[in-house]
């Protein structure tokens, strides 16, 4: 029973860490795109070519 509780705690902490890492990556990508309008325009053009 104790192993199940420890396993549950480990996975819940890992899930939270993965969420924080994804949030940090999105914030970093937004900052890079904000600082580099040429890159933003290239990304928008690429996305429009997909549609």
Domain regions of the chain by residue span: 18-51
Across 32-48, b (16+ Cβ under 10 Å) vs e yields eeeeeeeeeeeeeeeee
pLDDT of residue 22: 98
The tens digit of pLDDT for each residue in 7-41 reads 999 999 999 999 999 999 999 999 999 999 999 99
Indicate the pLDDT class of residue 2, thresholds 50, 70 and 90.
confident
Q: 36 φ, ψ to 5°?
A: -130, 85
pLDDT of residue 47: 95
The rounded distance, in Å, linking the Cα atoms of 37 and 42 is 9
Q: What is the pTM of this model?
A: 0.70
């Amino acid at each position: 029973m104790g192993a199940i509780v420890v396993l549950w705690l480990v996975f819940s902490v890992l899930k939270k860490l993965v969420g924080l890492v994804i949030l940090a990556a999105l914030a970093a990508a937004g900052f890079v795109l904000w600082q580099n309008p040429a890159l933003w325009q290239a990304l928008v053009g690429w996305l429009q070519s997909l549609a």
